[in-house]
Structure 1
Amino acid sequence: MTPRVAVIGCGHWGQNHVRTLKEIGALAALSDADPTRAAALAERFAVPAVSLEALLADTAIDALVLALPPSLHGPTARRAFAAGKDVLIEKPIGLDAIDAAATAKAAADAGRILMVGHVLRFHPVFERLEAAVAEGRIGTLRHIISTRLGLGRFLGMDAVWDLAPHDLSLVLRIAGEHPASIETLRRTVLSDETDVADIALSFPSGVGAEIHVSRVSPFRDRRFTAIGTEGMLCFDDLAPEGQKLAFYGHRVWRDGRAFAFQSADPEYIETEPGLPLDRELRHFLECVTTRQPPRTGADEAVETVRILETASPRSGA
């Protein structure tokens, strides 16, 4: 049977979870600190609006999706685990590594599923890129570049904490290991916090990565590139359908005392259709049912928060 899931927190992203879970047939209830918003959504999606305390006590609720302010994710998730619920937590799962680790330990101690909402990991284009790297399409992986630029989203978190979790999840998956060193260049431009940041990661294997985020860019850019010894793969999320994943057969080699290079036109790779959030939530439901570890589990969740905390320490944290 399909697990019964409740969504806690019905802001912009929480409403996406509500809608998608309803379409899947798994939405059992919802809860929000704003009773007016909760009542309106409950009526729209034909489910009850219930308090958090009532949801935790309801044995018919199998799992929760938390889309709360990050400071509330850890305490709420730990209460849910103690109540026997599996939990998908929107990123980041906390605002410091100690809190994140405590949440991961609570899930393990209770034998519950902890999954973090790194939705781009379930994008079919990224999944195809990941498979192509594993197949050796670009030879030996040497470097990763992830860019996320745009205008807006001044929500009380700086650009590193708000934007970089997406990219860190993708980088960690392709690199396949935790970074050995983290360097960050941050700039305040138009707000009171970091608006632009460059994060450089070095991994034990020798692979490097660079992440560029900005919320004061006049244009949008959403590209993820894996560079290897035999070519490059680029996932451009803003490209037209059919051109979102490109292979470039660019090569660089030593020619005597110098280096030579050869460029190539892009070869577009066919990918499966599918909505990332739908795929993410279906994977969560499968994990709840089968008890298999989620693809975006506790280790990734804690490591992402550790990197964020190192890259952009929060005052008072």
Structure 2
Amino acid sequence: MSIRIAVVGCGQWGRNHVRTLAEIGALAAVADADAARASDFASRFGVPARSLDELLADASIHGLVLAMPPRLHGETARRALRAGKHVLVEKPIALDPADAEATAAVARETGRHLMVGHVLRFHPVFERLDALVREGRIGTLRHIVSTRLGLGRFLGMDAVWDLAPHDLSLVLQVAGRPPESIETLRRTVLSDETDEAEIALDFGDGLTGSIRVSRVSAYRDRRFTAVGTKGMLVFDDLEAEGRKLAFHAHEVWRDGSSFGFRHADPEYLETEPGLPLDRELRDFLRAIATGKPVRTGAAEAVETVRILSQASPRG
């Protein structure tokens, strides 16, 4: 079966979905609140520009990718699910846990896939890091750190809701369970909402996590670190290919009433090639074709929104 997908929202990130689905050969149509923009993308990629109602009524379209303002995600996703469509929703799928759970409930009722666009979960470097942690390469996992710093993206929502979903999805995957407690330090710097934040997570049993996000940083930082009793793994997304994943065989040990440590040079590890968005969309298509679950499904989407709501309450 040839899977046909329409993209609703051709803005900053939706256009990447349009391009990638066209490359895969699964793009069926586009829609956007800006008719001129929809027409432009339709012309460029050789597909029709349609209204949302037209997409929902078209039985030949199997699924929708929603890349809209987050306040519209829940209602639109529920309409699409009830119309029999599978849905991939960009992060966050909602701005409060009740809205997220309502969408997940409709997905369960209709038997349709609901996938959240946590694209970095499909990054081959992250996948290798996650596998190495589970294999015991760094011993017992004790701490996880995710950093996302840069300048820009003032989109009418605070930095926690805009930036942290990426990092939170990675931390939750490696931790393997939701946190028991959350503490957040938020700062408004140059806009009217949170511009940077530090989120501390405690998973119990000696495992902790830390997420730092900022949109008012003079430099960019995209690092994810897993700290264990026998070393550390670092995924640096700004490094060159071949140097994005490093293993540091650092050691720390108790020496009487104090501690000793040994510093080790990084060992750069090989990883598979592949573009995260391409891999994410292919997982969505695979799930539709086979009926098997998507990797970043409704439960993960709801849990992420629940934690974000605790980390940065709105209103």
Is 1:112 the equivalent of 2:112? yes
Paired letter, 1:123: H
Pairs within 5 Å for 1:296-315: 296-315=296-315
Structure 2 Cα separation of the partners of residues 71 and 195 of structure 1: 20
Paired letter, 1:140: T
Structure 2 Cα separation of the partners of residues 286 and 204 of structure 1: 35
> 1:12 is paired with a residue of what secondary structure?
coil
Q: What residue number does 1:175 align with?
A: 175
Q: What residue number does 2:295 align with?
A: 295
Structure 2 Cα separation of the partners of residues 151 and 40 of structure 1: 29
Q: Tell me how many residue pairs correspond in the alignment.
A: 315
Does the aligned pair in 2 maintain the 1:2–1:285 contact within 8 Å?
no
Structure 2 Cα separation of the partners of residues 192 and 296 of structure 1: 32
Q: What residue number does 1:205 align with?
A: 205
Task: Specify every segment of 5 or more residues in structure 1 that has no aligned partner in the other structure, as ranges.
Answer: none
Structure 2 Cα separation of the partners of residues 295 and 203 of structure 1: 22
Q: What residue number does 2:258 align with?
A: 258
Deviates more, 1:219-228 or 1:290-299: 290-299
> 2:198 is paired with a residue of what secondary structure?
strand
Q: What residue number does 1:95 align with?
A: 95
Q: What residue number does 1:50 align with?
A: 50
Q: By how many angstroms is 1:12 displaced?
A: 1.3
> 2:302 is paired with a residue of what secondary structure?
helix
Q: What residue number does 2:66 align with?
A: 66
> 2:13 is paired with a residue of what secondary structure?
helix
> 2:204 is paired with a residue of what secondary structure?
coil
> 2:64 is paired with a residue of what secondary structure?
strand
Pairs within 5 Å for 1:118-157: 118-157=118-157
Structure 2 Cα separation of the partners of residues 229 and 30 of structure 1: 49
Does the aligned pair in 2 maintain the 1:250–1:262 contact within 8 Å?
yes
Is 1:227 the equivalent of 2:203? no
Residue-by-residue CA offset, 1:13-64 (whole Å, 9 max, x unaligned):
1110000000000000111111111111101100000110011011000000
Q: What residue number does 1:12 align with?
A: 12
> 1:145 is paired with a residue of what secondary structure?
strand
Structure 1 Cα separation of the partners of residues 63 and 216 of structure 2: 37
Paired letter, 2:300: E
> 2:226 is paired with a residue of what secondary structure?
strand
Paired letter, 1:187: R
Structure 2 Cα separation of the partners of residues 130 and 173 of structure 1: 8
Does the aligned pair in 2 maintain the 1:160–1:308 contact within 8 Å?
yes
Structure 1 Cα separation of the partners of residues 250 and 151 of structure 2: 32
Q: By how many angstroms is 1:204 displaced?
A: 3.0
Paired letter, 1:215: R
Q: What residue number does 1:275 align with?
A: 275
Residue-by-residue CA offset, 1:226-271 (whole Å, 9 max, x unaligned):
0000000000000111100000000111112211111100000000
Structure 2 Cα separation of the partners of residues 163 and 54 of structure 1: 32
Superposition misfits of 4+ residues, deviation over 6 angstroms? none
Structure 2 Cα separation of the partners of residues 204 and 2 of structure 1: 46
Structure 1 Cα separation of the partners of residues 249 and 151 of structure 2: 33
Paired letter, 1:138: I
Q: What residue number does 2:160 align with?
A: 160
Q: By how many angstroms is 1:314 displaced?
A: 1.1
Structure 2 Cα separation of the partners of residues 227 and 202 of structure 1: 14
- Give the superposed CA RMSD: 0.7
Structure 1 Cα separation of the partners of residues 239 and 54 of structure 2: 45
Identity of aligned residues (%): 72
Paired letter, 2:160: V
Structure 2 Cα separation of the partners of residues 134 and 61 of structure 1: 39
Q: What residue number does 1:78 align with?
A: 78
> 1:147 is paired with a residue of what secondary structure?
strand
Residue-by-residue CA offset, 1:158-187 (whole Å, 9 max, x unaligned):
110110000000000000001110000001
Structure 2 Cα separation of the partners of residues 224 and 83 of structure 1: 39
Task: Specify every segment of 5 or more residues in structure 2 that has no aligned partner in the other structure, as ranges.
Answer: none
Residue-by-residue CA offset, 1:174-211 (whole Å, 9 max, x unaligned):
00001110000001111111111000001133310000
Structure 2 Cα separation of the partners of residues 250 and 165 of structure 1: 29
Q: By how many angstroms is 1:105 displaced?
A: 0.5
Is 1:240 the equivalent of 2:240? yes
> Could you tell me the TM-score, scaled by structure 2's length?
0.99
